[in-house]
Amino acid sequence: MESLLTLPLGDYRVVELTLRLTVSLIVMTALLQILCLSVVKRPFRLTLILSGVALLAAAWFESGVWLAWKDAFELAGTSYCVTGHLLAGEDRIIALSLGLPAILVCFGLLHLNPLKKGFRNLCWSALGWGVLGPFYQTAALIGFVLCVLQLRGILLGKPNNHAILRVETIVAITSMALGFIVKELGYLYLLPLGKSVEEILIRGETIHSLCDILELVVPGMALLIGILRISEEKSSVSFIRQLA
């Protein structure tokens, strides 16, 4: 029980810095998407706005995880002791339930016809994920699988999809899936987190933060890069037509 009450200075700082880095990267990704509204074509602006707002909301809840970590411990000599405040694990779950479905819907806006059934199914799956995900881990997994199924056309390389977006979409979905897999391995005690409570707490929080980067930052940047490439391609085509 004593190991639960104190953390070495170095271990505490590693987790705090990782949490701060996670929040900073999510905010930076959201701001980059919003700032790029001025350089992309009008049809892609709604996609960037939706993703940017969702990532800002996710960053807000991620900051709650960081602040809860700071409140949960206080410096006592050469170590940090618990104060009795709880860690805000639910804030991380809410952040993912806001950010991930929104990013997948944004990819759907780029690949799918909004008037067809596939896009409607994607939106309903994302909505169910966003509502039920904070309460049930299984709902988040099911929601992710259902959303990916609606985007299976681009993953399978159908020619009627934007080939230029295929790589970005695969990177985003693979990164999300990797984050889910690592977390599930942790829940099933299949990750070597250590033997003491102290080691499990430190490594668990660090891995959770790295998974958040995989699930939010990498897909957000993949979406931004894909939109910039499409917008640039359309601008080049329009310029060539004007010259002709």
Do residues 108 and 150 make contact, with C-beta atoms less than 8 angstroms apart? yes
Q: For the whole model, what pTM was predicted?
A: 0.90
The lowest-confidence range among 19-23, 67-71, 156-160, 236-240 is: 236-240
The pLDDT, as a whole number, for residue 244 is 40
59 neighbors 70 (Cβ within 8 angstroms): no
Residues 49-102: pLDDT tens digits?
A: 999 999 999 999 999 999 999 998 888 878 888 887 888 889 999 999 999 999
- How would you class 67 by CB atoms within 10 Å of its CB: exposed for 0-12, middle for 13-18, buried for 19 or more? middle
At 136 the three-state DSSP class reads: coil
| Separation between Cα atoms, residue 176 and residue 198, nearest integer Å | 28
Of 179, 30, 175, which Cα lies nearest the Cα of 93? 179
What does the H/E/C string look like for 8-62? EHHHHHHHHHHHHHHHHHHHHHHHHHHHHHHCCCHHHHHHHHHHHHHHHHHHHHH
What's the rounded mean pLDDT across residues 205-230?
95
Q: Are 155 and 201 in contact (CB under 8 A)?
A: no
- Which candidate, 114, 121, 184, places its Cα nearest to that of 152? 121
Residue of higher predicted confidence among 181 and 164: 181
Of 25-39, 146-160, 215-229, the range with the lowest mean pLDDT is 146-160
pLDDT at 15 over 50: yes
| 5 band by pLDDT with thresholds 50, 70 and 90 | low
Q: Which residues pair with 7 in a beta bridge?
A: 80
pLDDT of residue 181: 95
φ and ψ of 196, to 5 deg:
-85, 160
Res. 230 pLDDT band, cuts 50 70 90? confident
Q: What pLDDT does 139 receive?
A: 92
Q: Is the pLDDT of residue 206 over 60?
A: yes
- Residue whose entry in the numeric block shows the structure tokens 């990819």: 107
pLDDT at residue 164, rounded to an integer: 66
Q: E-strand spans in the chain? A: 6-8, 73-76, 79-82
- Check pLDDT > 70 for residue 158: no
Residue type, 103: I
Assign 234 a pLDDT band (cuts: 50, 70, 90). Answer: low
Three-state DSSP at 75 gives: strand
pLDDT at 75: 85
Asked if residue 129 has pLDDT above 70, the reply is: yes
| Between 208 and 188, residue with greater pLDDT | 208
Residue range 119-126: average pLDDT? Answer: 95
Of residues 170 and 192, more confidently modeled: 170
User: What is the pLDDT of the chain when averaged over all its residues?
Assistant: 87
Q: Enter the DSSP assignment of 85.
A: P
Q: Exposed, middle or buried, 213 (CB in 10 Å: 0-12/13-18/19+)?
A: middle
pLDDT at residue 161 is higher than 50? no
The distance from CA 182 to its chain's CA centroid, rounded to whole angstroms, is 14
Q: Rg for the chain (alpha carbons), in Å? A: 20
Name all domains of the chain by residue range, CATH numbers in brackets: 2-243 (1.20.1070.10)
pLDDT at residue 215 tops 90: yes
